[in-house]
Homo-oligomer: A and B are copies of this chain.
Amino acid sequence: MIERIESFRRRRPRLLEERVTLAHGAGGKASAALVDAVFVEAFRNPLLEPLCDGAVIDLPGGERLVISTDSFVVQPRTFPGGSIGQLAVHGTANDLAVSGAVPQWISAAFVLEEGFPIAELKQIAADMAAAAAETGVQIVTGDTKVVPKGAADGVFVTTTGVGVIPAGRDLSARSVRPGDKVLLSGSMGDHGMAVMLARGDLAIEADIRSDTASVSPLVESLLAAAPSTRWLRDATRGGVGTVCNELAQACGLGVLLDEEKLPVRPMVAGACELLGIDPLYVANEGKIVAVVAAEETEAAIAALRSHPLGADAAEVGEILEEPAQTVVVRTGFGGTRIVDMLVGDPLPRIC
């Protein structure tokens, strides 16, 4: 969130509402306005300022730590390809990984509704344990609270991860330069669409599975092959479109995406068309957006494709001097359109 805070400071969206709406949790413009007006306003202090670009902490011994937290409220709690337990580990580990950190330790806090089935809770814990083992992180501490029936919707899981950044790594939007290339590690929108269809209230049947996965191995192989990599982000809530907007705002440059190169599975594209949703805004849980130096593009793509999670990795755009702080998509017809941050909330409770 902290890197987001930095960019929000540049183009402060205004919070106009008096009450929280679902859009405030969607990861787009309204979320930005809420975070800015409430949390940045309150928590800002001289000590916070140097930490702005990534919740990265210098320890006296020379280590650098990253701390990241996320609450998971996804509904339904299981869906094709994943569950709230897997998301809770992958989501937080991925936030660390795209900061350049090796995810190491995770805490898990549970708010449980009275009456929640113990068997389902055991399954969630088992999913978390499996995801942690696969990711190479340890779940080291936790907390359990119970609220009366009706005061929560089953279970909410909050995970916080701590990772260590190896010496010499410094990923930052500030290092992004015109001419750099934008890569995407695979197809867009699988997670969001899988969850939406799993809700069963759309008359669409399609075999779409969430892409929830730990991107840490992908990040490590990318950084080994393309050591000048500037910036990474996982494209979760708000999708690739919102993440690229955050990048544009944070680096002050333009991001040009090539629509025809953006990978989308045909089933997801079809469902998006039926629902009138742009896949650029649909959440992913196992995909990274990377800005790499032009001369390392081929090596970077090869490294991503060498991993099963990155088999469909592609160069999808580039960084331009102008239009500053803006994301532009070149369409298949040769025209261009501006892609803003997600504004509404097509997909509440996606993670």
A141 at the interface (CB under 8 A from B): yes
Q: How far is the CA of A86 from the CA of B172 in the complex (A)?
A: 33
Interface 1/0 per residue, A156-187 and B, CB below 8 Å: 10101010100000000000000000000000
Q: Which of B115, B138, B151 contacts A45 (CB 8 A)?
A: B138
Q: Which of B69, B114, B119, B126 contacts A142 (CB 8 A)?
A: B69
Q: How far is the CA of A147 from the CA of B319 in the complex (A)?
A: 36
Question: Which of A56-64, A210-218, A278-286 has 4 or more CB atoms under 8 Å from chain B?
Answer: A56-64
Q: Are A20 and B142 in contact (CB under 8 A)?
A: no
Cβ contacts under 8 Å, A122 to chain B:
37-38, 41-42
Q: Are A35 and B140 in contact (CB under 8 A)?
A: no
Interface 1/0 per residue, A117-146 and B, CB below 8 Å: 111011001101100110000111111111
A103 at the interface (CB under 8 A from B): no
Q: Name the CB-closest residue of B to A16.
A: B118
Question: Which residues of chain A from 44 to 79 have a CB within 8 Å of any chain B CB?
Answer: 45, 47-48, 51, 55, 57, 59-63, 65, 67-73
- Asked if A55 meets B20 with Cβ closer than 8 Å, knowing A38-B125, A111-B156, A158-B158, the reply is no
Q: How far is the CA of A43 from the CA of B109 in the complex (A)?
A: 13
A223 at the interface (CB under 8 A from B): no
Determine chain A's interface SS by DSSP, over half rule: mixed
Q: Are B21 and A121 in contact (CB under 8 A)?
A: no
Q: Which of B55, B62, B105, B133 contacts A57 (CB 8 A)?
A: B105
A260 at the interface (CB under 8 A from B): no
Q: Name the CB-closest residue of B to A48.
A: B138
Q: Which of B25, B126, B150, B151 contacts A146 (CB 8 A)?
A: B25
Cβ contacts under 8 Å, A107 to chain B:
55, 67-69, 160
Q: Are B162 and A117 in contact (CB under 8 A)?
A: no
Q: Name the CB-closest residue of B to A35.
A: B144
A18 at the interface (CB under 8 A from B): yes
Give, as a whole number of angstroms, the nearest-CB distance from A258 to chain B. Answer: 32
Q: Are A20 and B121 in contact (CB under 8 A)?
A: yes
Give, as a whole number of angstroms, the nearest-CB distance from A344 to chain B. Answer: 13
Q: Are B141 and A68 in contact (CB under 8 A)?
A: yes
Q: Which of B43, B69, B148 contacts A160 (CB 8 A)?
A: B69
A2 at the interface (CB under 8 A from B): yes
Q: Are B20 and A112 in contact (CB under 8 A)?
A: yes
Q: How far is the CA of A117 from the CA of B122 in the complex (A)?
A: 35
A324 at the interface (CB under 8 A from B): no
What are 22 A-B contacts defined by CB distance under 8 Å?
A19-B118, A25-B112, A37-B118, A42-B126, A43-B128, A43-B132, A45-B138, A55-B141, A59-B59, A59-B61, A61-B61, A67-B107, A68-B141, A69-B107, A69-B143, A70-B143, A143-B158, A145-B156, A145-B349, A145-B351, A147-B348, A158-B158
Across the A-B interface, give the 3 residue pairs with the lowest CB-CB distance, nearest first. Answer: A61-B61, A25-B146, A160-B160
